[in-house]
């Protein structure tokens, strides 16, 4: 990565802006320090769109909150998050964020019927309250229309959809027309038009232009407020970038930014098709996406906000988050994304629906992952080819090697807590190959109980240390089972319970990397039939505490009756294990060959 980044850096034409962004994002780790002095909002004098967007780095989404609907509080708590408080926004600011994206559902129970489509005063003032809190706490805030349902009908009901869309934006813009420049507006979240995919870019342009003209017409500070326009479904493929660039060129307004979303290489992001590590394809997808976005917009004077980013499979409700994908590989992705965004001058806004910051306690669910995100904005920390060494319990311990990813840093040795391991006796380094000796591994494994026996750190000249876990395992054991699927409606978000088929499993310290599913003739079985490797959680769910691997209704709904399916479970330590399942109606049998 470092070589391509170096070449890319030479090509940037807006070096002064890159320097500004680097300065703005410096020192994110420890941003709570009283000595941290970063410009976090547009200065009082007139600024460019580029300067304002740079000052928003990094940003955070208040996801699944004001964009939710239903429930007793106008939808705000309906999807599991508490009410937004000023303390929440103060926490976000103290954690180093300089902006929030505020997704808002204005439709549903909040907007009246035609022809006026009046937004309720309760909804409008609740949004204003949150905006006021954000600005008072030195956070820029980007407000959008997050409702996609009614705008999807644009191809078939153009007049009514635009009447509603324009009315909503007129009311929003009038309410906030006197607000300072710390407030920006985003046209619409992820516009999509399922009934007319051939003209999706044109329909997106229609919404964007109507939004632009409606907001600017309200005057006041909306005359030069930053307005943010998405691509079709905020997609970053070149044709959609080009279509949005054409719209922005036609509007010829210096206070416009573009927005896309980024959730990484899809097979990596959801753990499907066997992509369980931050491999070359995943890295290349990141670099290519951010580079073409920079080339299309930033290098032509249009700033870019990545309005949502993260990993699709990262959901705290799952209980086994690191399996989508493997935990150390997840850390690599998060820091690399932040780093690449700075290199390509893109402002990131983390999509957080409760998986990262626990809004009930105002604490990060995973402080180490947060640290890697922060590190990426300033220093690309050193890593290794993997974060674990698996030792078979019954086997003879031998030397084990990992490859160092120095990322331009110097390797400074291994530590266990405050104790430095001894080079030569405990480990050797040859080029980028780090080898732990059998003697050191024997000592670290101790009594060789199943699971993690010890954790050591590879330290580098800068950035975060890389944890390496010494794990003892035996090959997992899967038992025969039979059961009846209950046939109840299944959303895919629910716990398995009786909706799933559970395979009794003794994991013996090991963990699943991925699962294949094939019929006897070798063809792929189950959902995503373009690959034998199935999607984690959507089709299979390991529960290491309960000792089960559950297969979901989504998996069996895509499996033919009375045809045995061979499942091949890939484990990080113990290779592969085959298991056969057969569905007959609602009855499932599983056997261990």
Q: Taking the model in full, what pTM does it have?
A: 0.91
Read off the pLDDT of residues 184-225 as tens digits, 9 standing for 90 and up: 999 999 999 999 999 999 999 999 999 999 999 999 999 999
Task: Identify whether 109 is a catalytic site residue.
Answer: no
What is 123-162 written as a DSSP string? Answer: HHHHHHHHHHHHHHTT-EEEEE----TTGGGTTT-HHHHH
Residue 489 confidence class, pLDDT cut points 50, 70, 90: low
Task: Identify whether 308 is a catalytic site residue.
Answer: yes
Residue-level pLDDT at 1: 36
C-alpha span between 284 and 426 (Å, rounded): 35
Annotated catalytic residue, options 76, 182, 186, 190: 190
Residue-level pLDDT at 74: 54
Looking at every residue in the chain, the average pLDDT score rounds to 90
Q: What is the mean pLDDT of residues 163-175?
A: 98
Residue-level pLDDT at 31: 36
Q: What is the mean pLDDT of residues 341-356?
A: 97
Residue-level pLDDT at 433: 98
The answer to which of 84-98, 309-323, 401-415 has the lowest mean pLDDT is: 309-323
Residue 461 confidence class, pLDDT cut points 50, 70, 90: very high
Annotated catalytic residue, options 182, 186, 308, 400: 308
Beta bridge partners of 35: none
The answer to which of 4-13, 220-229, 279-288, 351-360 has the lowest mean pLDDT is: 4-13
pLDDT cut 90: percent of the chain above it: 83
* 566 pLDDT more than 50: yes
On whether the CB atoms of residues 464 and 445 are closer than 8 A, the answer is no
Residue 498 confidence class, pLDDT cut points 50, 70, 90: confident
C-alpha span between 330 and 326 (Å, rounded): 6
Residue 23 neighbours by CB distance under 10 Å: 12
Residues whose CB falls within 8 Å of the CB of residue 198, separated by 6 or more in sequence, listed in order? none
Q: What is the mean pLDDT of residues 278-282?
A: 97
Read off the pLDDT of residues 150-160 as tens digits, 9 standing for 90 and up: 999 999 999 99
Residue-level pLDDT at 250: 98
Beta bridge partners of 99: 59, 140
Residue bearing tokens 């559970």? 502
**DSSP label at residue 331:** H
Residues whose CB falls within 8 Å of the CB of residue 406, separated by 6 or more in sequence, listed in order? 382, 432, 460
Residue-level pLDDT at 108: 82
- Using DSSP's 3-state secondary structure scheme, residue 403 falls into strand
- Using DSSP's 3-state secondary structure scheme, residue 221 falls into helix
Q: What is the mean pLDDT of residues 346-359?
A: 97
Residue-level pLDDT at 27: 34
The answer to which of 108-117, 169-178, 413-422 has the lowest mean pLDDT is: 108-117
Closest CA to 533 of 552, 514, 560, 558: 514
% helix / strand / coil in the chain, to the nearest 5? 30, 25, 45
Read off the pLDDT of residues 384-442 as tens digits, 9 standing for 90 and up: 999 999 999 988 999 999 999 999 999 999 999 999 999 999 999 999 999 999 999 99
Q: What is the mean pLDDT of residues 136-140?
A: 98
Read off the pLDDT of residues 17-68 as tens digits, 9 standing for 90 and up: 333 333 333 333 333 333 333 334 454 546 899 999 999 999 999 999 999 9
């Amino acid at each position: 990565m470092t070589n391509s980044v170096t070449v890319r850096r030479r090509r940037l034409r807006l070096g002064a802006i890159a320097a500004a962004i680097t300065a703005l994002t410096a020192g994110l780790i420890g941003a709570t320090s009283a000595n941290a002095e970063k410009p976090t909002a547009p200065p009082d004098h007139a600024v460019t769109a580029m300067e304002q967007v740079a000052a928003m780095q990094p940003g955070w989404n208040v996801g699944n909150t004001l964009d939710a609907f239903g429930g007793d509080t106008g939808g705000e708590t309906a999807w599991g998050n508490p009410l937004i408080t000023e303390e929440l926004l103060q926490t976000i600011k103290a954690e180093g964020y300089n902006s929030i994206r505020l997704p808002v559902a204005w439709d549903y129970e909040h907007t009246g019927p035609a022809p006026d489509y009046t937004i309720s005063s309760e909804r409008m003032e609740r949004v204003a309250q949150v905006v006021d809190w954000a600005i008072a706490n030195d956070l820029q805030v980007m407000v959008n229309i997050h409702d996609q349902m009614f705008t999807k009908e644009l191809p078939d009901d153009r007049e009514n959809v635009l009447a509603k869309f324009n009315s909503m934006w007129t009311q929003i813009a009038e309410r906030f027309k006197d607000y300072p420049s710390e407030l920006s507006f985003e046209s619409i979240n992820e516009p999509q038009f399922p009934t007319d995919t051939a003209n999706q870019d044109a329909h997106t342009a229609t919404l964007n232009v109507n939004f632009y003209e409606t907001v600017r017409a309200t005057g006041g500070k909306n005359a030069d407020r930053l307005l943010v326009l998405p691509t079709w479904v905020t997609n970053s493929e070149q044709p959609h970038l080009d279509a949005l660039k054409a719209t922005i060129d036609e509007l010829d307004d210096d206070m416009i930014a573009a927005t896309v979303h980024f959730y990484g290489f899809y097979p990596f992001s959801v753990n499907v098709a066997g992509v369980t590590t931050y491999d070359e394809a995943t890295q290349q997808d990141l670099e290519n996406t951010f580079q073409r976005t920079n080339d299309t917009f930033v290098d032509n004077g249009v700033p870019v906000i990545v309005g949502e980013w993260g990993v699709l499979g990262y959901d705290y409700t799952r209980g086994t988050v690191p399996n989508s994908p493997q935990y150390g590989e997840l850390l690599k992705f998060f820091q690399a994304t932040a780093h690449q965004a700075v290199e390509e001058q893109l402002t990131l806004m983390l999509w957080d629906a409760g998986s990262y910051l626990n809004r009930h306690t105002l604490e990060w669910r995973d402080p180490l992952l947060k640290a890697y995100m922060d590190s990426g904005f300033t220093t690309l920390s050193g890593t290794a080819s993997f974060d674990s060494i698996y030792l078979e319990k019954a086997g003879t311990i031998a030397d084990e090697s990992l490859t160092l990813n120095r990322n331009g840093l110097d390797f400074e040795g291994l530590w266990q807590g405050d104790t430095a391991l001894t080079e030569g006796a405990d480990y050797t380094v040859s080029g980028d190959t780090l080898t732990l000796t059998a003697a050191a591994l024997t000592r670290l494994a101790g009594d060789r109980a199943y699971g993690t026996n010890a954790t050591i750190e590879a330290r580098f000249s800068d950035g975060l240390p890389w944890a390496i876990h010494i794990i003892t395992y035996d090959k997992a054991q899967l038992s025969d089972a039979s059961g009846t699927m209950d046939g109840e409606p299944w959303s895919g978000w629910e716990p398995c319970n009786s909706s799933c088929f559970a395979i009794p499993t003794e994991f013996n310290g090991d963990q699943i990397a991925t699962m294949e599913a094939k019929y006897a003739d070798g063809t792929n079985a189950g959902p995503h039939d373009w690959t034998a490797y199935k999607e984690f959680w959507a089709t299979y769910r390991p529960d290491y505490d309960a000792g089960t691997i559950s297969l979901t209704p989504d998996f069996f709904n895509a499996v033919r009756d009375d045809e045995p399916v061979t499942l091949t479970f890939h484990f990080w330590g113990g290779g592969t294990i085959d298991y056969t399942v057969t569905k007959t109606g609602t009855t499932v049998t599983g056997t261990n060959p």
